[in-house]
Amino acid sequence: PGQVSSSNGAAGAVTGAGTGTGTESPPGQQPAPAPNAWQVVKGVLFRIFIIWAISSWFRRAPTPQESDGDGNGARSPSRNLFPKDTLMDLHVYISEHEHFTDFNLSSALFWEKRDLVYGDWSSGENSDGCYEHAGEVDISQSVQRNGSIYVHVYFTKSGFHPDPRQKSLYRRLATVHTSRMINKYKRRRFQKTKNLLTGETEADPEMIKRAEDFGPVEVISHWHPNLTINMVDDHTPWVRGSVPPPLDQYVKFDALSGDYFPIVYFNDYWNLQRDYFPINES
């Protein structure tokens, strides 16, 4: 959570009194009368007014408070659309399309896990709330030639389906979706060196051929064999527009209900660069 600090400034008037040698009043001239109490009060009030006017001029206007769609004042706190201990189904699809619609394509479904419990930290193979799945993915010629490939993850409340075309099984507020491109593009540089004694190159002939075909720098698509999907067990009563960064980019609110979907993100913190492999025919 962000922390906002404010500092209060104090303004005050400092009056100074000087002493000096004065001259006597001419004979017959009456000295100026001393100011009465009302004049002193007026002077103090005038100074206070000047200080207030100057500070108000430079003071930044407060940000208007956000209101709900009905104009009924401040927005009320939201709730997680998936309460704790909600039964869920997990659907993971692999596709070459950024926007996924091939729900009926069996080859696109990589992993399906039913009746997961939201917020259960004692389930799973190792009783730590984690599940693992391993499998092989068929890579098309397009992906081998530096095409993109995506993973689409859906969490639905148990009994529902992520396909919007299945009207009886789909519920918008019972479906959480996130996706990402799982391949990365890296540059590979060709260095054609020669042995100073023999004058012959030690580079692989295939690499020399690729350098002739693609130039000194080739862009190659890579991917990592591990992908971790995390679902955050959070039920904070967030207020839309007041979520501190960087959490604001993960908390997604529903436009109609005002409530928010569970946070699902891909954790690649432990995916080291050296563990990425080029995508090719192997």
The per-residue pLDDT for range 61-70, each reduced to its tens digit, is: 444 445 555 5
d(CA 219, CA 206): 16
CA-CA distance, 119 to 198, in Å (whole number)? 67
pLDDT at 54: 73
**Residue with the two structure tokens 């430079």:** 58
How far, in whole angstroms, is CA 144 from its chain's centroid?
31
Strand pairing category for 277-278 and 217-223: antiparallel
CA 261 – CA 251 distance, rounded (Å):
7
Decide: pTM greater than 0.85.
Answer: no
What would the two tokens of residue 4 be?
């906002």
Q: Residue 39: exposed, middle, or buried by beta-carbon count in 10 A (0-12, 13-18, 19+)?
A: exposed
Q: What is the pLDDT of residue 19?
A: 38
pLDDT at 62: 47
Q: How many residues does the chain have?
A: 282
Give tens-digit pLDDT for 248-275.
999 999 999 999 999 999 999 989 988 9
Spell out the long-range contacts of 242-247 with Cβ–Cβ below 8 A and sequence spacing 24 or more.
242/66, 244/1, 244/2, 245/2, 247/1
Q: Which parts of the chain have pLDDT scores under 50?
A: 1-25, 61-65
pLDDT at 111 (0 to 100): 97
